[in-house]
């Protein structure tokens, strides 16, 4: 039945940053290139996609790249055809005209609300839940990415680990500690820079554009690159997703944020530190704690404490200096653990493949 669902439409509304479009762009390409789907990606802000896919023209309303049809989503968009599977990414709310066209179809399309990633246990109970539309003959299914077999899994391309290991094997390494920095503006970047500047050994910090680079520039002044003692700080331009993956593979420690880079840092099998997206009432700290409870299983008490303390310090801005010292001391164990962690996660569903099977079962 999966072959019947050839045409897929993914709707993405860009709220801020690049997390939503990053996830949707990876999913669209994987559905097209690994599963033979004809994917149409609707994006309300094409400029947000261009840094991830430099080949596209942000002024062009319809174009194709990497096997995906990319369309500008506006309030006045005309509905010429409706997909057999519709993915409403992160509750972005479909256009009324498109919903009406869905309701007129026979058979009805499979309608998915792709939710945000969380390790919280409640997501397992909500995964796959059906929600009938209050006035139209349509049913929406809630699809939760996650870290257990009871969820929809994580995006993972078929050749990802082989590509990663081949890249790492070719890296010429010295004793320099390579770190990547991708964070929100609330991260204690200035304190981290001061700590790294006091390092007795060489450190090379690769700083992402946008909020991370702005924080570094505010602390040091100027546009970089910067040198402070043994610390070299190197800004980099926006990278296509494959190039960003390679940067994560080459670094010893990756500071990441949100959802897309968070998952990619785990696949990199290197030490990483995650900053959760801030939410009201500090709900993001619940997501952080839920992830850490899963993640530290298998670490020694020392390693677990070092990981938890640094994640919490990076998200709260408190206790970073001691947490960093302890994390560095435990890094060999944490790095070994992260490779096991990635292999364990790969034993669960790949999100794109699981999504194809889930939708096929709804025909």
Q: Which domain CATH number covers 312?
A: 3.40.50.2000
| Runs of H (alpha helix) within the chain | 19-35, 46-49, 96-103, 122-126, 160-170, 189-197, 211-220, 241-250, 260-268, 283-295, 301-316, 320-346, 351-360
The neighbour count for residue 71, using CB atoms within 10 Å, is: 19
Do both 330 and 283 map to the same domain? Answer: yes
Do both 197 and 136 map to the same domain? Answer: no
At 180 the pLDDT is 98
Do both 199 and 111 map to the same domain? Answer: no
Q: Which of 9, 84, 178, 259 is catalytic?
A: 259
Do both 150 and 194 map to the same domain? Answer: no
Residue 62: partners with Cβ closer than 8 Å, 6 or more residues away? 69, 70, 71, 72
Do both 18 and 62 map to the same domain? Answer: yes
The neighbour count for residue 241, using CB atoms within 10 Å, is: 18
At 90 the pLDDT is 92
- pLDDT tens, residue order, the chain (363 aa): 344 799 999 999 987 667 789 999 999 999 999 999 999 999 999 999 998 999 999 999 999 999 999 999 987 777 888 999 999 999 898 999 999 999 999 999 999 999 999 999 999 999 999 999 999 999 999 999 999 999 999 999 999 999 999 999 998 888 999 999 999 999 999 999 999 999 999 999 999 999 999 999 999 999 999 999 999 999 999 999 999 999 999 999 999 999 999 999 999 999 999 999 887 777 789 999 999 999 999 999 999 999 999 999 999 999 999 999 999 999 999 999 999 999 999 999 999 999 999 999 987
Do both 127 and 208 map to the same domain? Answer: no
Do both 134 and 259 map to the same domain? Answer: no
Do both 167 and 303 map to the same domain? Answer: yes
Question: Residue written as tokens 């990635």?
Answer: 342
110-114 and 68-72: which strand pairing?
unpaired
How far is Cα 299 from Cα 290, in angstroms, rounded to an integer? 16
Do both 192 and 217 map to the same domain? Answer: yes
Q: Is 242 a catalytic site residue?
A: no
User: CB of 303 within 8 A of CB of 334?
Assistant: yes
Q: Is 124 a catalytic site residue?
A: no
Do both 253 and 316 map to the same domain? Answer: yes
Q: Which of 20, 88, 115, 157 is catalytic?
A: 20
Do both 229 and 118 map to the same domain? Answer: no
At 263 the pLDDT is 97
HEC string for 274-313: EECCCCHHHHHHHHHHHHHHHHCCCCCHHHHHHHHHHHHH
Task: Return the SS3 of 181.
Answer: strand
How far is Cα 185 from Cα 188, in angstroms, rounded to an integer? 8
At 16 the pLDDT is 67
How far is Cα 46 from Cα 212, in angstroms, rounded to an integer? 22
- Domain carrying residue 232: 160-346
User: For the chain, what is the domain count?
Assistant: 2
DSSP 8-state secondary structure symbol assigned to residue 94: -
Question: Residue written as tokens 């390494």?
Answer: 173
At 312 the pLDDT is 97
Q: Indicate whether this model's pTM tops 0.85.
A: yes
Do both 120 and 196 map to the same domain? Answer: no
């Amino acid at each position: 039945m999966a072959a019947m669902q050839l045409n897929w439409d993914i709707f993405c509304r860009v709220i801020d940053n690049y997390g939503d479009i990053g996830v949707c762009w990876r999913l669209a390409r994987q559905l097209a290139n690994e599963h033979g789907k004809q994917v149409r990606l609707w994006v309300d802000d094409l400029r947000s996609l261009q840094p991830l896919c430099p080949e596209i023209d942000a002024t062009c309303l319809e174009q194709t790249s990497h096997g995906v049809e990319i369309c500008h989503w506006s309030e006045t968009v005309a509905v010429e055809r409706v997909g057999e599977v519709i993915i409403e990414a992160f509750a972005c709310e479909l256009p009324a005209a498109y919903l009406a066209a869905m309701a007129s179809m026979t058979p009805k399309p499979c309608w998915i609300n792709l939710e945000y990633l969380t390790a919280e246990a409640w997501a397992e109970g909500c995964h796959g839940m059906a929600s009938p539309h209050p006035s139209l003959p349509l049913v929406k299914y809630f699809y939760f990415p996650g870290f257990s077999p009871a969820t929809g899994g994580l995006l993972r391309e078929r050749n990802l680990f082989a590509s990663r290991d081949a890249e790492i094997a070719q890296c010429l390494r010295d004793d320099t500690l390579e770190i990547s920095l991708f964070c929100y503006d609330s991260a204690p970047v200035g304190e981290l820079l001061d700590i790294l500047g006091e390092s007795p050994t060489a450190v090379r910090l690769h700083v992402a554009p946008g909020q991370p680079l702005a924080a570094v520039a505010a602390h040091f002044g100027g546009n970089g690159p910067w040198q402070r003692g043994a610390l070299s700080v190197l800004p980099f331009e926006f990278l296509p997703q494959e190039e960003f993956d390679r940067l994560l593979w080459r670094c010893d420690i990756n500071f990441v944020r949100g959802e897309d880079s968070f998952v990619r840092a785990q696949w990199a099998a290197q030490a990483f530190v995650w900053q959760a997206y801030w939410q009201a009432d500090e709900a993001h700290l619940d997501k952080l704690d839920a992830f850490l409870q899963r993640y530290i299983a298998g670490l020694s008490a020392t390693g677990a404490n070092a990981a938890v303390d640094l994640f919490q310090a990076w998200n709260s801005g408190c206790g970073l200096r001691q947490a960093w010292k302890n994390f560095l001391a435990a890094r060999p164990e944490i790095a070994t653990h992260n490779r096991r962690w990635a292999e364990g996660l790969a034993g669960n569903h790949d999100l794109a493949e699981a999504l194809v099977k889930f939708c096929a079962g709804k025909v």
